[in-house]
Amino acid sequence: MKFNFSPFPELLTERLILRQITSCDCPQILFLRSDEEVNAFIKRPAPNDLKDAELFLEKISKGVKNKALIYWGIALKETPEMIGSICLWNFSTAAKKVEIGYDLNPKFQNLGIMTEAMKAVLEYGFQDLQANTIEAFTHYQNENSIKLLQKNGFSIVPNKKDPDNVDNIVFSLKSTDKD
């Protein structure tokens, strides 16, 4: 796979800007990573304050710089405020495989925003990174995430398990699935 995140690959869709996150996004990062509704199906430590959000931003920025991941803040074109995030990470260059992850402020759910963002990121993953497979791990009870993945062509991988979370099911999309 080809990794070139400099300059940062900003993605534009009809309604959205997928952009690099900055320190101005720390309040939204804190919200997205600590809100009970957003995190109902995610096992991750919640940040306690803005300092924790800043540390997360540093970690993400380092990962992007080291070409270990690419992480976009999702914003509506008419306002710069981050309303969600979407990322590609867990790169496997040998298998040409990458994992997608995402979250969205509940006020903006069920408006097609994540579908629009995901389509742009899938295109980026398959065309620009030249991935053969994009995987997604989601909780078996997270109906919205499962519908989103299925809507975007993902299929469940029946015998694959998430070693970090037994409640997750694994979905996969191959670049040939899109043709």
Q: What is the pLDDT of residue 52?
A: 95
Q: What is the pLDDT of residue 1?
A: 73
Q: How do the domains of the chain map onto residue ranges?
A: 11-178
Which DSSP symbol is given to 38?
T
What are the pLDDT tens digits along the chain (179 aa)?
778 788 899 999 999 999 999 999 999 999 999 999 999 999 888 888 999 999 999 999 999 999 999 999 999 999 989 999 999 999 998 889 999 999 999 999 999 999 999 999 999 999 999 999 999 999 999 999 999 999 999 999 998 988 888 899 999 999 975 44
Q: CA–CA separation, 27 vs 51, rounded Å?
A: 10
Q: Could you count the other beta carbons within 10 Å of the beta carbon of residue 1? A: 18
Q: What is the pLDDT of residue 94?
A: 87
Is residue 112 left, alpha or beta, with left meaning phi > 0 and alpha meaning psi from -120 to 50?
A: left
CA distances, 132 to each of 112, 143, 145, 162 (Å): 25, 26, 22, 20
Q: Are 62 and 70 in contact (CB under 8 A)?
A: no
Q: What is the pLDDT of residue 74?
A: 98
Q: What is the pLDDT of residue 164?
A: 84
Fold of 11-178: Aminopeptidase (3.40.630)
Q: For residues 31-42, b (16+ Cβ closer than 10 Å) or e, as one string?
A: ebbbeeebeebb
Q: What is the pLDDT of residue 4?
A: 78
Q: What is the pLDDT of residue 165?
A: 87
Q: What is the pLDDT of residue 179?
A: 44
Helix (H, G, I), strand (E, B) or coil at 92: strand
